[in-house]
Structure 1
Amino acid sequence: MTQRFNINKPRVFAAAVFLSLCSLAQAEVAVIVNPKSSLGTLTPDQAASLFLGKSVTLPSGSAVALTDLPDSSAVREQFYSKAAGKTSAQVKAAWSRLTFSGKATPPKELASAADVKKYVAANVDAIGYIEKAAVDGSVKVVLTVE
């Protein structure tokens, strides 16, 4: 007589989703610039200032072209949470105020990390953020956020 083991598929699926979320929660986010950029490093405060529209230039004084991931991106949520201490809703509200008042233009939202990396690699004044595991020689890391 052969016994069959009944694997509870919903539990297996839930465990897989949980493990995926745990690994994503622990992923490092890299703030990236073009390799030709003169920027050496950024502090989390400097990154927050740029990505929240409080500063429109790099510490060197040069103009900056910010890129952002979509609202639905877990990497975006992690970046703003860790670097700026803000939720997506708070970031969106801050940019709405700045845009309405004419004080700043929000970052260019790109569809994926690959698009952000491609844009930054092609534009010397660009800055963005992606998962650190996606970094290659086409961009330079100036800050890592855990």
Structure 2
Amino acid sequence: MIANPAVGTLTKEQVADLFLGKSQAFTPIDQNEGSAAYADFYKKAGGRDVAQVKATWSRIVFSGKRQAPRQVADSAAVKKAVAADPKAVGYVDKSVVDSSVKVLFSLD
């Protein structure tokens, strides 16, 4: 789990709330829905499988409350988007982390 260096600390629960539409405190950046990282992240952070995540966001979007997190192609694209936005958070493979982002915690 990474954030822009300007972001303070976040707990696993706060991050799950961001990615599951319960909080708008920061801008979540998702990986592509079909990726293994997407499924793994939601299972570990939110305890939900891909179908449950899709159902949650369908309900939120249909209600007009907000849009689902923006999806990008891969870990490198998440890192780039997070580094460019002071309110962004995302999840990436450890191998792409550098000084342009801050590691909040690991879901290993």
Q: TM-score range by the shorter chain?
A: over 0.9
- Find out whether 1:56 has 2:47 as its counterpart: no
- Letter of the structure 2 residue corresponding to residue 135 of structure 1: V
| Aligned equivalents of 2:45, 2:6: Cα separation in 1 | 24
Deviations 1:24-75 (CA, angstroms, capped at 9, x unpaired): xxxxxxx1111122x12x2221111110001111xxxxxx221100111111
Unaligned runs of 5+ in 2: none
Cross-structure match for 1:36: 6
Cross-structure match for 2:45: 83
- From 101, 117, 125, the counterpart of 2:79: 117
- Find out whether 1:45 has 2:45 as its counterpart: no
Deviations 1:94-126 (CA, angstroms, capped at 9, x unpaired): 000000001121101111111110011111011
**Number of residue equivalences:** 108
TM-score (normalizing by structure 2): 0.94
Alignment of 1:60-139 (within 5 A): 64-139=26-101
- From 78, 102, 106, the counterpart of 1:140: 102
| Aligned equivalents of 1:143, 1:92: Cα separation in 2 | 24
Q: CA RMSD in A?
A: 1.0
- The answer to whether the Cα contact below 8 Å between 2:18 and 2:24 also exists between their aligned partners in 1 is yes
| Aligned equivalents of 1:131, 1:112: Cα separation in 2 | 9
Identity value in percent = 48
1:76 CA drift (Å): 1.1
Unaligned runs of 5+ in 1: 1-30, 58-63
TM-score (normalizing by structure 1): 0.71
- The answer to whether the Cα contact below 8 Å between 2:61 and 2:68 also exists between their aligned partners in 1 is yes
* Secondary structure at 1:67 match in 2: strand
Cross-structure match for 1:61: none
